[in-house]
A and B are shown apart, each in its own frame.
Chain A
Amino acid sequence: MSDVASDVIAIIAKKKRVEKPTVEINDRLQDLGLESLDAVEMIFDIEEKFDIQIPYNANTNNPRTEFETVGDVVNAVEALVAQKKS
């Protein structure tokens, strides 16, 4: 697992609202019981961790439909991190 993946998983694990010992790359976000403010808090944590800007408007973006699994979030963050380096 990449460093980005383990960091993103750690951030999501802090916000999950279901009893589950570990968060896996294939877990579906909707099964983790995330609520309305959890998304903006997670995005903040990810932006701070990787020093990236994630364009996100709670009125038009819905992470629960745009990203199905934890892996989808990891891929999006990896792309932004790569973009920042280039």
Chain B
Amino acid sequence: MTELNRVVVTGLGAITPLGQTSSVYWENLKAGSSGLGPITLTPANDELTQKIAAEVKNFDPLKHFAERQLSTLDRVSQFAVVAAREAIANSGLVFDMPLSVRTAAIVGTGVGGQTTHDESFRRVYVEKRTRVFPLTIPKLMVNAPASQVSMACGLRGPAFAVASACASATHAIGIAFHMVRSGQVDCAVTGGSEACITFGTVRGWEAMRVMSPDVCRPFSKDRMGLILGEGAAMMVLEPLERARARGAEILAEIVGFGMSADAADLTAPDQGGMVRAIRDALADAKLTPDDVQYVNAHGTGTAANDETETKALHEAFGAHAPKLAISSTKSMVGHALGAAGALELVATILAARHGVAPPTIGYLAPDPACDLDYVPNTARAMPIEAALSNSFAFGGLNAVLAVKRFS
């Protein structure tokens, strides 16, 4: 067996409700800011029962794309490309030959181009038009963000979308990590994107009865559910040797990826599935529970997830669980669904790099069913050598990434 590469992160990009670059995003996470606000993106915001979401505010596509390009780019692809460009620029890599054909572009998204979907359905069903825009189909396809990243950045190796609802980005990054580790590719640009704060999608979430009317308070007493978010985060992964040889700044090392399926309820979280994914990630990383200081939780703010995730952390970490700093950054940026795992891995990487655990904001008081340390309301300076990022999706699909501070 050939020796596995060590895989490092050399570039990050993010476009989020808390800032449209990875550095602004991180400053706001550390400050415990809220990215939540009134829904403005749908054509009939007033008709919605749900009033609050975490939108990427004042995003101007014309700052990033020529006007004629926009007829090919749904908001979800715009986010993916903007974040990928930032990550690549920060990495210092240039994707000319032969690196271009040896680089993967793997992008997670839950539902793809929902804005395009919603607009075209509105035209045919409500406005009774007979035509929709000519590029409706290639704009809304779930692989559009991956394809657009590949085209915009000149990446000619393996490129595809990963869809596993709220775990999409974590699965995408995990697969990219394993491909770089095994030597199947020399580099990967990977992450997730989501932009589905549309009238039809919000109506769908309303019908699930799991959204909070105002604030997302993961793990807190009196939490009332999740808040929808949107955005994208992308990163550049490459072998440690290559990064060292070219003198790149190394932001963190990705060390493990674990996944599992519950094969149980469609939407109810499953402790056993969560535990298997966490243990799989630790084993892949050759970490013991005691090695980990920080967990970026899935932490949706629903009654069921947060209680079940707490039990899973107890089971997977045993006596070490109460010593973990655990936070849900969804309290600040909402639940970006297929992009959530990427937004959260960026938070986890920067937490380890800067030695700061971002907080869980909106935390009121302990819930007896959630009895761990959730870094309530204020960020905490602490050494973080190893950290996990959890993603647990509808459909019972679980994915967990493990990162280490690079020194």
Interface positions of A (Cβ within 8 A of B): 35-37, 40, 43-44, 56-60
How far apart are A45's CB and chain B's nearest CB, in angstroms? Answer: 12
- Are B224 and A59 interface neighbours, CB within 8 A? yes
B93 beta carbon closer than 8 Å to chain A: no
Q: Would you call A37 and B267 a contact (CB within 8 A)?
A: yes
| B266 beta carbon closer than 8 Å to chain A | yes
Complex CA gap A43/B302 in Å reads 19
Q: Are B209 and A40 in contact (CB under 8 A)?
A: yes
Tell me whether B303 and A35 are in contact (CB under 8 A): no
| Interface assignment of B225: CB less than 8 Å from any CB of chain A | yes
For A43, what are the chain B residues with a Cβ–Cβ distance below 8 Å?
209
Counting chain B residues whose Cβ lies within 8 A of the other chain, the interface size class is 10 to 19
What is the bound-complex CA distance between A57 and B50, given in angstroms? 12
Q: Given B209, B265, B268, which contacts A57 in the complex, CB threshold below 8 Å? A: B209
**A56–B210 alpha-carbon span in the complex (Å):** 9
Question: Are the CB atoms of A40 and B266 closer together than 8 Å?
Answer: no
Partner of B303, one of A37, A40, A44, A58: A58
Q: What residues on A are CB-neighbors of B304 within 8 Å?
A: 36, 58-59
What A residues does B212 contact at CB under 8 A?
57, 59
Asked if B266 and A37 make an inter-chain contact with CB atoms under 8 angstroms apart, the answer reads yes
Contact with A along B255-276 (1 / 0, CB 8 A): 0000000000111100000000
Residues of A within 8 A of B266 (CB): 37
Chain A neighbourhood of B330, CB < 8 A: none
Mask: chain B, 280-318; 1 = CB below 8 Å from A; 0 = not:
000000000000000000000111100000000000000
| Dominant secondary structure of chain A at its interface with chain B | loop
In the complex, what residues of A have CB within 8 A of residue B303's CB? Answer: 58-60
Interface string of B203-220 (1 = CB under 8 A from A): 000011111110000000
How far, in whole Å, are A60 and B209 apart by their CA atoms in the complex? Answer: 10
Q: Are B207 and A59 in contact (CB under 8 A)?
A: no
Q: Please, how many angstroms separate the alpha-carbon atoms of A59 and B303 in the complex?
A: 5
User: Are B209 and A35 interface neighbours, CB within 8 A?
Assistant: no
B223: interface (CB < 8 Å): yes
Task: Name which residue of chain B comes closest to A54, CB basis.
Answer: B209
Chain A residues positioned under 8 Å from B225 (CB to CB): 57-59
Q: Contact between A58 and B208 (Cβ–Cβ < 8 Å)? A: yes
Q: List residues of chain A with CB within 8 A of the CB of B268.
A: 35-37
Contact A36 B265 (CB under 8 A): yes
**In whole angstroms, how far apart are the Cα atoms of A70 and B212 in the complex?**
28
Alpha-carbon gap, A37 to B268, bound state (A):
8
